[in-house]
Amino acid sequence: MIRRLPKSLAPALVTTVAAALLTAALTLVSPAGAQATPPGIPSAATARSELAALTVTAWTHTTTYDRDLFPTWDTISGTCDTRETVLKRDGTGVTVSSACAATSGTWHSPYDGATWTAASDLDIDHVVTLKNAWVSGAWAWTTTKRESFANDLTDPQLIAVTDNVNESKGDKSPDAWKPPLTSYYCTYARMWTRVKYVWALTVTSAEKSALTSMLGTC
């Protein structure tokens, strides 16, 4: 037997259920503290296959690198350049000025676990550093191709992180530097490997060994 609710209770129940459903939907779409990640991060299994396919060789053209050979930042949309685009993508509640500068928001740096509310505390890290790309094959590219690499929003190459952590990384490859948080080793190695694979860059034996070890934490 189905009992009908009293009419006096029905509206309140409908409102309560609707609110619960809306809350659940919002939680699925935009969970509290959500952190966007760069696109194109492969699974660990795919990353291992891509790593195995990379050419292993020593660096070349190690004395000819020049940062200016990798132009940044490109204008992406309207007044927004690559840096500002990544800041909006990687933050939560980001508001920007008419010039697209981030004026407020919250950013979680996955390398060290720090949370920031000022864009000035963040750098946009090139996961595969520009110098590493140069000595791994980018020396032979056109400037146009190097510019595309330095502003790559399609692959997991750009990410907003704590500025001094990015500075500590410098031009180092994974055999010389790893994120402070060991829990991020897996993701970092997957990102680094994917970028090297997509852009057909080489790896050194030490670099491949470090990536293999980091993928082992997945």
For residue 19, is pLDDT > 70? Answer: no
pLDDT of residue 122: 98
| Straight-line distance from the first to the last Cα atom of the chain, in angstroms, rounded to the nearest whole number | 53
Q: In angstroms, how far is CA 20 from the centroid of its own chain? A: 33
Q: Which residues pair with 123 in a beta bridge?
A: 161
Angle at 143 between CA 138 and CA 146, to 5 degrees: 45
For residue 143, is pLDDT > 80? Answer: yes
> Is 144 exposed, middle or buried (CB count within 10 Å of its CB: 0-12, 13-18, 19+)?
exposed
Site of tokens 């990410």: 159
Query: In percent, how much of the chain has pLDDT > 90?
Result: 83
pLDDT of residue 177: 98
Q: What is the mean pLDDT of the chain?
A: 87
For residue 6, is pLDDT > 60? Answer: no
Mean pLDDT of the region 123-149: 98
For residue 155, is pLDDT > 60? Answer: yes
89: its two tokens: 């993508």
201: its two tokens: 């860059």
Mean pLDDT of the region 34-41: 76
For residue 33, is pLDDT > 80? Answer: no
pLDDT of residue 137: 98
Site of tokens 């291992």: 48
Q: What is the pLDDT of residues 65-106, one digit of tens each?
A: 999 999 999 999 999 999 999 999 999 999 999 999 999 999
For residue 26, is pLDDT > 70? Answer: no
> Is 175 exposed, middle or buried (CB count within 10 Å of its CB: 0-12, 13-18, 19+)?
middle
